Chains A and B, each alone.
Chain A
Amino acid sequence: MRRPSFLSTDPTAARVVPATGFTAALTIVSSAATAFLAVFAIALSLAAGDLATRWETELAGTATVRLPAADEGQDVQVATILEALKQTPGIGTAHRLDDGEQAALLAPWFGTDLPLDSLRLPILIEVTEIGDGPDVEGLNLRLEAEAPGAVYDNHGRWRAPLAEAAGWLRKLGTVSLILIAGVMAVTIALAASAALAANGQVIDVLRLVGARDAWITRAFVQRFTLRAAAGAGAGTLIGMIALLLMPGGAETGILAGLGLSGVEWLWPLVIPPAAALLAYAATRAAAARRLGSAP
């Protein structure tokens, strides 16, 4: 396999392209800036995915049977309900919340010194579903007959909008990643075009002394690919450091999920090589266009 030409080292070739100047700075700074943004787009995308998954799974697979408070005969009813649940396909476990668990459930709203005895609280039975869950309609008909007032609730009303929101969040993350990649491609392509235009005299001189188009292209591609990679490397590093330094913890609310963890830290490392590839393609295209008009 032939080595891609931007990897071949010809120091003299690259030297014909000025190492400093406006367009050099333009390439480096613009790829650094877009790389920095890309780090956050990746983090946002991953965080959105995590959040969506959490919303979907936390409520899925659980259900509650609610039995209104009554003066007597409750234990019998609870036993009847538990028996009915045991016989229903699609039900995993079922367990009645005791006073302590119920108090813990209510604590966030009413505080810890709630006189539970004096309140007539409904009895709650926590159920885990397996597979697609039970036939809710049939189960409720049976409960209606055997334990009047008991209602099986699989949180469907809550879950539907959350699942929808989670889907949107995922799409948002993907779209922002695609947009940033697009902005990066356009920026690098524009910088390459501008740099070639600014170096028109270099190209004309090279043609006049007998340089082949491939040689000229290689000189520019080498410089720009390295520049874009270096700029993107710096931008990525700064972005990752910024993510690392971002205050974590639940207190930060929406930003809480916006860090990277574990192998997720490998994702931003894709950015510099991607920028280099973009620069390679963009410079080749721009050089082909510019050389078409060289004498």
Chain B
Amino acid sequence: MIELDDVVVGYGGRTLFDGMSMSLPQGSFHFLTGPSGAGKTTLLRMVSMELRPSSGRVRVLDEDVGRLDRDGIARMRRRIGVVHQDSRFIDHMTVAENVRLPATVAGQSEATADAHLAELLGWVGLGDQAAQHPPELSGGERQRAALARAVILSPDVVLADEPTGNVDWDMSLRILDLLIQLNRLGKTILCATHDLNLIRQAKSRVTSRVLRLKGGRVEQAGIDL
């Protein structure tokens, strides 16, 4: 469940969202579109608690995230997997260690995490890159590593900010496939993308809705993209 209620956000005096509301039920699959600069990343950053609206309420998984303390935010982030547009890693650790990091900081034993890890890395096509370091990866590989890291704890909500921005069509389909599988497990998916082909592909396989950001409001886009 993701709920924005009358949120106001601005950067340096310019208001981006002025009293915006939306509500996505648990287990739904939404695409977020809109022109560059419309505020897709900003919206996702509010849900991932990286950005606090100057007013209004953000509720995720039945929690008013504005009321969480720092430990509460940390705990909450283990239930929200985020793939950023420009994902950052710990560069001196291997790809495998980076992907496992959410499990590590959550105190899971390496054995538990490693059972998932190999499969997951294979899934995003990074099986051979497990022992490399993030700076050695291409842009697309970084995005796949970020996706693997986002889902290793099997989070209840997955936020993806243009996850197919740097990958070829085959890999886009694999990433979509992973998101669809997660959604079938009951996870809420919110995916910002420009890629209309990807949205069409998804619509043929999963019940998904398209939200369009325009002029600081969210509107449901028609099915006929």
Q: Is A201 touching B75 in the complex (CB atoms < 8 A)? A: no
A5 to chain B, nearest CB (A): 14
B82 — nearest CB in chain A belongs to which residue? A208
Q: Select which of A19, A210, A291, A295 is within 8 A of B105 by beta carbon.
A: A210
Q: Is B50 touching A210 in the complex (CB atoms < 8 A)? A: no
Q: Is A210 touching B74 in the complex (CB atoms < 8 A)? A: yes
A208 and B89 alpha carbons, distance in the complex (Å): 10
Contacts of B217 in A (CB 8 A): none
Which residues of chain A from 59 to 100 have any CB-CB distance to chain B below 8 Å in the complex?
A: none
Q: Select which of B50, B92, B104, B149 is within 8 A of A12 by beta carbon.
A: B104
**Could you count the A-B residue pairs with CB atoms below 8 Å apart for me: how many are there?**
61
Is the CB of A205 closer than 8 A to any CB of chain B? Answer: yes
Which residues of chain A from 195 to 249 have any CB-CB distance to chain B below 8 Å in the complex?
A: 201-202, 204-215
Q: Is B90 touching A16 in the complex (CB atoms < 8 A)? A: yes
Which residues of chain A from 269 to 295 have any CB-CB distance to chain B below 8 Å in the complex?
A: 291, 295
How many residues on the B side are at the interface (Cβ–Cβ under 8 A)? 27
Is the CB of A149 closer than 8 A to any CB of chain B? Answer: no
Q: Given A205-B89, A208-B82 in contact, is the A213-B101 Cβ separation under 8 Å?
A: no
Q: Is A210 touching B90 in the complex (CB atoms < 8 A)? A: no
Is the CB of A18 closer than 8 A to any CB of chain B? Answer: yes
Is the CB of A15 closer than 8 A to any CB of chain B? Answer: yes
A48 and B72 alpha carbons, distance in the complex (Å): 56
Contacts of A12 in B (CB 8 A): 104, 110
B43 to chain A, nearest CB (A): 16
Q: Is A210 touching B78 in the complex (CB atoms < 8 A)? A: yes
Contacts of A16 in B (CB 8 A): 90, 93, 101
A162 and B53 alpha carbons, distance in the complex (Å): 73
- Digit string of B92-114 for contact with A (CB within 8 Å is 1, else 0)? 11000100011011100010000
Q: Is A204 touching B106 in the complex (CB atoms < 8 A)? A: no
B109 — nearest CB in chain A belongs to which residue? A12
A19 and B93 alpha carbons, distance in the complex (Å): 11
A291 and B74 alpha carbons, distance in the complex (Å): 12
Q: Given A205-B101, A206-B101, A295-B50 in contact, is the A211-B90 Cβ separation under 8 Å?
A: no
Contacts of A206 in B (CB 8 A): 90, 101, 105
Q: Is B71 touching A212 in the complex (CB atoms < 8 A)? A: yes
B148 to chain A, nearest CB (A): 12
Is the CB of B200 closer than 8 A to any CB of chain A? Answer: no
Is the CB of B203 closer than 8 A to any CB of chain A? Answer: no
A201 and B82 alpha carbons, distance in the complex (Å): 16
- Digit string of B112-154 for contact with A (CB within 8 Å is 1, else 0)? 0000000000000000000000000000000000000100010
B71 — nearest CB in chain A belongs to which residue? A212
A203 — nearest CB in chain B belongs to which residue? B90
Contacts of B75 in A (CB 8 A): 210, 212
Is the CB of B67 closer than 8 A to any CB of chain A? Answer: no
A-B contact pairs, 11 of them (CB 8 A): A15-B97, A16-B93, A204-B88, A205-B101, A206-B101, A206-B105, A208-B50, A209-B77, A209-B78, A210-B76, A213-B74
